[in-house]
Amino acid sequence: MKLIFIGTGSGVTSLKRFHSSLLFSEKDFKLLVDAGDGISKALLSQKISFKTINAIIISHLHPDHFSGLASLIVQMKISGRKEGLTIFAHRSLVKVIENLLLHYYIFIDRLGFKIKLEGFEHDEKTGLSNDFSFTSKQNTHLDHYKAFDKKGSLSFSCSSFLFEYKNQSIFYTGDVGSIDDLFIFSDK
C-alpha cells in the first residue's frame, strides 16, 4: 500500500498547496479521500490518471473537501473512463450528493461508466478490498452550524476515518471541531 498526499492545504486557497486529500494506492485498488476544489488539477500535477481511481470517500460537504467531485467526474468521462466508480459518504449525505450531481447535469446514463453511491454508518467497518477497510466516526467540526438550521433539515455529518490495511492503521481527519476529535479512535 502506498499513501500519496494529493493536497496538504487548509480551506484557504493557495498557489502552492492543494486542499486536503489523500490517495491510497495498492496494486488493484485506488481510493481518493476527499475531492475539494481543484482536485482534478491536483491529481494531474502528480501524474495520477483519472481512470485509475476505483473509489472516492467524502468526509463532509465543505467545499475544500467536496466541491471538486463533479468536475473530477466530468474529467473521468472526457478521459474515456469505462470502469465503474464507487463514491462513499455517510448515509445522510448520499441523497444530497445524488441531487447535487444531477443539478450539475451529470447524468450517470451518459457518462460511459457506472457510479455507485454507497452510504456508510459511523462506527461500522466498511470493506474496500481484501485487506483494506475503513471505519468512520462523527467528529464535532460542524456542530457549531446546527444553530443555523432552523428547519432541522440538514445533515451535519463530518467523518474522521481509521483506514486499516493488513496490520497497519492510518487515522485521517480533514477537519476537527475540538482537540478531542484527534482522539476519537484512541480505543484502536
Query: Is residue 149 among the annotated active site residues?
Result: no
All three cell numbers of 66: 467536496
Which residue is catalytic, options 37, 64, 175, 181?
A: 64
Q: Do the beta carbons of residue 76 and residue 105 sit within 8 Å?
A: no
Angle at 98 between CA 175 and CA 51, to 5 degrees: 80
Question: What are the backbone angles phi and psi of residue 108, rounded to the nearest 5°?
Answer: -55, -35
Give the closest residue to 153 by CA, choosing from 95, 105, 113. 95
- The whole-angstrom separation of Cα 155 and Cα 145 is 10
Instruction: Locate all alpha helices (DSSP H) within 79-161, ordered by sequence.
Output: 94-103, 108-111
User: 185 vs 5, 109, 130, 155, 165, CA distance in Å?
Assistant: 21, 39, 22, 22, 16
Q: Which amino acid, one-letter code, is at 181?
A: D
| Residues involved in catalysis | 64
